[in-house]
Structures are given as C-alpha cells and as structure tokens.
Structure 1
Amino acid sequence: MRVNQNTMLLGQKVILVPYTTEHVPRYHEWMKSEELQRLTASEPLTLEQEYVMQHSWREDTDKCTFIVLDAEKWQAQPDSAEENCMVGDVNLFLTDLQDPTLGEIEVMIAEPSNRRRGFGTEAVLMMMAYGMTTLGLNKFEAKIGQGNEPSICMFKKLHFEQVTMSNIFQEVTLRLLVSEPERQWLLEQTSHMEEKQYRGRSWWSHEANSC
C-alpha cells in the first residue's frame, strides 16, 4: 500500500517495515512450507511470481502489508540485512466496499522457533493502532483456520469475539468493534510504539553510526 511504503513502526519486541524486494527471497523460502501454505490458504509461487506479488502488494490500495522484524536482533546487528531479522508479516485487507472502516487482519510468524515469543501479539496490536489512527478503521476481523488454536486464542486475548464458524471453509471469523473504551485500551497497549520514516536498513545504520 502506498500509504505505508515509507513508514516503519518501532515496538518493544518487533519492528514493522514495508515489504520490499530485499525481503522477497526469505519470504519465498518460508512459503515453500506446506504448513504455512495451509495456515495462510496460499499457493506456492516461483521466485519471479513472488517479486510480482511483492510489487502488487506495494501498489494495491486495499492491502497494507508490513514485514515483522525481531527488534532485539535488528538492534544488535546494525550492519546486518533486514532479511536476517525477519520473523513474519502482518497484513490489513480493506476489501469491504460497503464498509471502508473494516479491516481484515492477519499475522504470520513463519518459523516455529519464533512463535510464542509475543511477536505476533505485538505486531497485531501495532497494526491495529496504525489502522485505527492512519487508515480510519474502527472494526477488525480475523479469519482463522479452525485447527489453529494458538492464533484463535491470541485474538481472543486481544478482545476479539468469535462471530461465525464456516465448516465449508474450515475457518472461524472473529471481530473487534473499536468502541471508545477499546480505542483507549489499544492506544495504551501501543503507547511505546514509534512511527519513523523508512528508507531501508543501510540508511538507518548510517544515521545510527553518525549519532
């Protein structure tokens, strides 16, 4: 999405950066996993197709995508490529033409060693705060496979409520309506988040070293 192509969001455990061509090779390797294909309802792509997909995600007006980086690793290795700090991605889909204030959110923490470390929870909170304050969203939905209990539990802890279950698609839909109390709670949960201009890792390393 063009609106976030120069935006990075800094949290405590994760950093969210736009999905760029630098991230494609690692992302492509992840998506060879049959488990991730099943969990994300995705088809395997060639590397060339993945580059095309990355470009379309960057240009689409109805999809906001960030790559999730391990903040500790990112800060400890200032000269390392972002590809080495990647742990997953988080997305907002703005596809309901009848309701532009509704965003479907999904998060993927790709490798099992990076799961259950709070990366997904913070990424979702930061993405919702960004969607609320920048994109004008006040409703969020998550569609999750029925067998993905950890993800379902995570969203329920973030105040989502299950609204439907589809046996045909083998998925449940959870929803969060952002009332004023929910808005204040979400802002409190993300009060540490910083938004900065994104120009790539090489630029950031140069700025950090010159301080």
Structure 2
Amino acid sequence: MKTYRHLFFDLDHTLWDFERNADETLRHLYEHHGLGRFGTFTVEEFIGRYSEINHALWRLYQGGKIDQHQLRSVRFVRTLGKFGVPEEEVPATISKDFTDLLPQKSAVFPFTYEVLDYLQGRGYALHLITNGFKDIQYVKLNSSQLTPYFQEIVTSECSGCLKPDRRIFEHALERAGTTARESLMIGDNLECDVLGAYNAGIDQVYFNPDKRRHSAEVTYEISCLSELKGFL
C-alpha cells in the first residue's frame, strides 16, 4: 500500500462551491443591470443558459481553442444573445463585474475546513492545482479563508499548461519537492483531474458529490469530502 505525503486538490467544484457562488453572483448581476427590462427571460433562465455557455467555452479554453480574453469577452454576449438581446445592448461592464464579484464569494463544500484541518493534523502537505485564472483564484482562496492550508498553489498560468496535460502535474510535483508515488490528486473532473493525474503516474480521488455514473477507473471515489478521513 502506498504511503501518501503530498495531497493535491483541485479548487473549483471540489473545495470552493463554484455553482453556488456563481448563482449568487449572477442573481446580483441580473438585478444590478436590470436584465428583467428585456422581458424575454427570467433570472433562472439567465443562470441556466449562462452555465451552459460558460461550460462550453471552458472546454474550448482547456482544449487550447480560445484564450482567457476570448472566454471572458464572449460568454455574456452569447448568453444574452440567446434571448434576443443585441450585442450593443449587453451591459458594457457585466463581464468585469462578474469577474470582480464572483471570487469574493466564500461558499465551500460541506466539511471542507474540517477535512483540511484533519489532513494537516495528520502531517500531510497540502497543495492546489487549478486551471482557474491566477488573478481570480487567489481572491477566492483569501475570501474563503483557504489560503493558509496550502503550501504550493499551481495555476495553469504559472505552469504554462492546463490540466489534463501531464506537465502541469509534473510541475506541481517539482514545486512541492515530491514524487508521483508519494502524491494523491483530489478533484471533481474525470478528464482534467483524474485522467491528468493518472497520466502523470499519480493516484487519484474522484470527488463525485452528484454520484454521476461513469466507467472510468479511479483509485478512490468519494461523494463527500469527509470520506477522505476513511483512508487518509
């Protein structure tokens, strides 16, 4: 049985509750920018459509098809365009307002702090590997009081590549001064976190709170962070 010494976490959708925080942010923007004046969509429809488009754009970004600027500049234009809002009527600051406000939200998944305290108490070195943009991720960590838990915070920008590219995991191992054999990756994304870590020779924990069915082979699978205490 392997003895892990270094634990690498994903941030969004694993510790930091992206969906809940984005929902609060989008509701605020709907009211702040008076999007109800268009009279063609509810706030729930706005949030649902934004989520679909944002996820699709992130897949393109992770595949190297678009860059950060393109992702940020088109997601609200496309979202509101689906409801018949002309591009020239899309509020000019809505994208910046979103990126400014979202990372200030602090909701995390249940047992996040308790589990991180437990793992630190057990002597594990904790680190982050995230595809999120550096400027936003550090604000999220500070807002949610997660920063003190982590020794190394590896972003796609600092490593020059995105998960699931094995090079970001190798860069993280080098930064942490450890080996793949001594390491474990915990994340919610089967491709980015699980397959990426596997290709770098790192064991994985698939965090699957919705208990989605899949056929992937993973080292461990959990639906609640508290389950980490059962084998770490």
Same fold (TM over 0.5): no
**Max Rg structure:** 2
- Structure with bigger helix share is 2
TM-score, length-normalised on structure 1?
A: 0.29
As a proportion of its length, which structure holds more strand? 1
TM-score, normalisation: structure 2? 0.27
